[in-house]
Structure 1
């Protein structure tokens, strides 16, 4: 909507102050295009005024409220977690804890002087930096696989 049309609507509605009202009246008298546009807007305004507004029936609100009352209440969504995922995560943590426990026993020197009982495992030839790095790499790959499965299931649920 251009500014002159907006000013004409405000003039027709009586929303202008005296100075603006006089300026619009002068524009209508001096410019033929604005006068034609003003007359068209007056006809359109009178057509709008002649229209009867439809009103809803007296029982509209009651009917809407009854239809809402008849609709079943939404049930809370119950999510189902795949037990395989739980077992896999639990297994990962159990294996990791067993590894840490074994490593702590390996690195400790348990001795009982009264019983003359010595635990000193020689696992240096089995637990090398390569084995440790391989174990960590395997854990990383398994973690990424589980993360991929989790994200794919989440995306499929959303779509």
Structure 2
């Protein structure tokens, strides 16, 4: 059930049905309590109508819009790739390939040397591991499988970018 004030506010605002308006108008005329509350609420409503609404300053609107633009400008930066990570991965692969190349070259034995002028002798205390033990290990096999998958992935992404550039 509505309280007296709720009924009177609905009456003042004009949000009640015509039947309720008639009933409330009759209550205002007949009941002293309703009449007193109605006059109080009418005075309060007139004061509310006379108040000016506070508006934020133009600087506030500008600052809010700038904050929104700054948030939108930062969004693409979140998806960029860190260059240090890429350089670290590239350095790992380059060092791995150079190490494999050095091991391979050091284990190559040339018989019937056509370069008789070049005589390379390694120090006697330099012991290198046997290359066949390294290349037959599970680690090297998985390393080569990873390299092949990475090469396929990079080739695919390159071809997709090239295709997208042609379509755009």
What TM-score comes out, normalization by structure 2 length?
0.38
| Greater percentage in helix | 2
More contact order relative to length (CA 8 Å, sep ≥ 6): 2
